[in-house]
Amino acid sequence: AFRRFIQEERVYFALMVFIAECCATPLIISKVPYTEIDWKAYMEEVEGVEQGEYDYSKLRGGTGPLVYPAGFVWIFMLLKWLTDGGTNLHRAQMIFAAIYLGTQAMVLALYVRVKEVPAWGLLLLLLSKRIHSLYVLRLFNDCVAMFFAYAAVLLFTQRRWSLGCILYSVGVSVKMNVLLFAPSLLYILLA
């Protein structure tokens, strides 16, 4: 059954793209310098909560006040802990590489499932300089939010509505841009 499954052209291309991503991502981390944009500010923003402050008006980082929902705070507190107070950038990049590869696996699964994009079109995911930059060179919180958003969409395609809605909510709790999915989700849930 597995052999027949991977012989389908789209699945084969998706597997090849994913394997290429697994090779390219660590190479990018080792060869392209990290660019500090928000990581340090994220660590400063969650520090206030670590010290017991829960009043959002008093939580801030180097870029200004904390504007992200509570899911961001808890997930980035965990990331801060896993990265030695946010100082171990290589470990942070490797964690974001895992988030990236998980996201790419879900996006590839969606493309295979939908069957609207030609198989060669899956290669475009691999060639995106911008997406690699967002995930492993800049460590943006959008990446964590979109991981949960794509997980939700994949579950919705399998009609697993409750778990999909939970993961969608986690995505929104990290960054509110995931709310842009809400009108379509509402339409599907009411249909």
Residues 6+ apart with CB under 8 A from 111: 10, 14, 117, 121, 122
| Residue 183 domain-assigned (yes or no) | no
Q: Is 120 helix (H, G, I), strand (E, B) or coil?
A: helix
Extract the tokens encoding 74: 């808890």
Mean pLDDT of 15-40: 95
Asked, for residue 103, whether it belongs to a domain, the answer is: yes
Domain membership flag for residue 155: no
> What distance in Å separates the CA atoms of residue 79 and residue 166, rounded to the nearest whole number?
21
Task: Classify residue 120: in a domain, yes or no.
Answer: yes
> Does residue 2 surpass a pLDDT of 80?
no
Alpha-carbon Rg for the chain, nearest whole angstrom, is: 18
Range(s) of the domain holding residue 33: 2-141
The total domain count for the chain is 1
The predicted pLDDT at position 6 comes to 58
pLDDT computed for residue 7 by the predictor: 62
Q: What is the pLDDT of residue 173?
A: 98
More confident residue, 127 or 120: 127
Q: What predicted TM-score, i.e. pTM, was given to this entire model?
A: 0.92
Residue 166 lies in a domain: no
Residue 149 lies in a domain: no
A 10 A CB-CB count for 168 gives 23
Encode pLDDT of 50-89 as tens digits: 999 999 999 999 899 999 999 999 999 999 999 999 999 9
Residue (of 37, 45, 26, 44) closest to 134 by Cα position: 37
The overall average pLDDT reported for the chain is 93
Does the residue 182 lie in any domain? no
94 close to 100: Cβ distance less than 8 angstroms = no
